[in-house]
Amino acid sequence: MRNCETCPAPIIELDINHLMSDMLGEKHGLNRSQIDKHSDAAVKAFENIQANRGSGWLGWMQLHINQDDVVEDILLTADSIRKDFKTFVLLGIGGSALGPIAVHQALNHLHFNELSDEKRKSPRFYVEDNVDPERMQALLDVIDLRTTCFNIITKSGATAETMSQYLIVSEALKKEIGKGWQKHIIATTDKEKGNLIKLAKKEGFKTFYIPSTVGGRFSQLSPVGLLAAAVCGIDIRSMLGGASCMDQTCCSSDIWKNPALLEAVVQFVLMQEMGINIHVMMPYADSLKYMADWFSQLWAESLGKNITRKGVPINVGQTPVKALGVTDQHSQLQLYTEGPFDKVITFLKVEKFRSKTVIPHGCEEFEDVAFLGGKSHNELIEAERIGTEYALLRAGRMSQTITLPVVNAHTIGQLIYFFELVTAYTGELLDIDAFNQPGVEESKIASYAVLGNTAEKYQKKQDEMTDSPSEKEQYIL
């Protein structure tokens, strides 16, 4: 296991052996020359990203550098939330929720909310990232508004799902608390744009800002993710330190010295030259389960684009698929080993788990059970990952492994920054805008039109939708 070059922290590692023709053979594997031929493009991608870091949509590259005051404020606020409240609820969607969910799962106890108050030492934590009416009701059934703090997160300050949640909880708080209900709300949003900042100013909510240069899916290391993490007792300075180490590790324009750049070039070659258009993210650790969800949004929303930056039609992007090892060996693996040759599997491996579960001896009369005795779940989960990697190799299927020495705030900070860099470099190689999401906007406008929003653009959309071909009875059974 390698350490960071600037501090003693162990660093996560990318292993692409199981993608290469040296192991997979010429027919299904990747040649080093297929990677090397993109070295000039990689240098250009690296230099473009470096030259613009901190500006445009690359503000996320500076979050581990320029947030000292913000971190101070977050830690003070988190301390008072921990003292004053028993429950902390995050209301947001997409990039305003997936990072906090992934970090909560990775770094908090896996049954955090069920721990006793003494053991948990923090408020119970919920993230509500949908508008399913049963889910909202279920939340209200289990929380006590008098001891609950809500963090409303929306970068645009306008997202209907989040603003509808705001309307529901603010109304409920006004009824239950009356005077002083505003102390139960923290707003995280853009400093100037959107409705939430206006509301925050009017009501006097404590507010954190998402820098204008940081897009939703790149915002985990901003107050979007840091406040919830700090409230739960996660060492947010260490998480930012991890991002800083990854920044250092990826400071070369040489593909073979910069793991994020190597990964970007590899994925570029896989999707553009080898027809590998599905990317399965398969952590072998429950703690990393929602990292796959966070990655899926980052990868899908950033790279799924239909034109280049020059407006040339392109229709690119790998479809991300979430899987969990070993659980999904028993549901999806059959397809991965024998289905179409259109997938790459990324394993997230944990070198040292935070617990050890020893399997007792027993069932000596059954050889297939008895052999497990004296081993541990730690050994079993890794043996199963190796077994899956081998089965894929035998079947000529590509896989790669990212190893976390241990799951802690530092390595999670590294992992987040690593994937953000990979995504940004890949966007450069594809020559697309990795930071917009016009395809999402279309669905937003259409749904507001359906709900009867009277603003002009929604009215126009309503007319357009009325003109679209009508559904036929014969196709509905």
Binding interface with ligand PA5 (CB under 6 A): 93-96, 154-156, 159, 162, 215-217, 301, 437
Catalytic pick among 179, 202, 330, 472 = 330
Which is the catalytic residue, given 128, 161, 263, 301?
301
Number of H helices, E strands in the chain: 19, 12
CB of 94 to ligand PA5, least distance (A): 3
Residue 195 Cβ vs ligand PA5, minimum distance, rounded to whole Å: 11
- Smallest gap from Cβ 466 to ligand PA5, in A, equals 26
Q: Of 28, 44, 109, 444, which one is the catalytic site residue?
A: 444
- Where are the extended beta strands (E) located within 333-477? 343-352, 398-406
| Residue 361 CB partners (closer than 8 Å, separation 6+) | 370, 373, 374
Nearest distance in Å: CB 352, ligand PA5: 33
Helix (H) or strand (E) holding 283, with range, is strand 278-283
Report the C-alpha gap between 381 and 202 in whole angstroms: 53
Tokens of 35: 């990677």
* Smaller CB separation from ligand PA5, 399 or 437: 437
Segments in 250-353 forming alpha helices (H): 259-273, 289-303, 333-338
Does the annotation count 301 as an active-site position?
A: yes
Using alpha carbons, select from 286, 300, 293 the residue that is nearest to residue 328: 286
Longest Cα–Cα distance in the chain:
75
Of 155, 156, 243, 218, whose CA–CA distance to 435 is shortest? 218
Q: How many CB atoms lie within 10 A of CB 460?
A: 12
- Determine the Cα–Cα distance for residues 250 and 253; give it in Å rounded to an integer: 8
CA distance 370 to 349: 26
CA dist list (Å): 75 to 62, 68, 79, 233, 234: 19, 11, 6, 10, 10
- Residue number, nearest CB to ligand PA5: 216
215 versus 405: smaller Cβ distance to ligand PA5: 215
State the minimum distance, in angstroms, from the CB of residue 209 to ligand PA5: 13
Pick 194 or 405: Cβ nearer ligand PA5: 194
Is position 444 annotated as part of the catalytic site? yes
- Minimum CB distance to ligand PA5 smaller for 97 or for 255: 97
174 is catalytic: no
Q: How far is the CB of 33 from ligand PA5 (least distance, A)?
A: 36
* Identity of the residue, 156 or 376, whose beta carbon is nearer to ligand PA5 in the bound complex: 156
Q: Which is nearer to ligand PA5, 308 or 436 (CB)?
A: 436
Tell me which residues are annotated as active site: 301, 330, 444
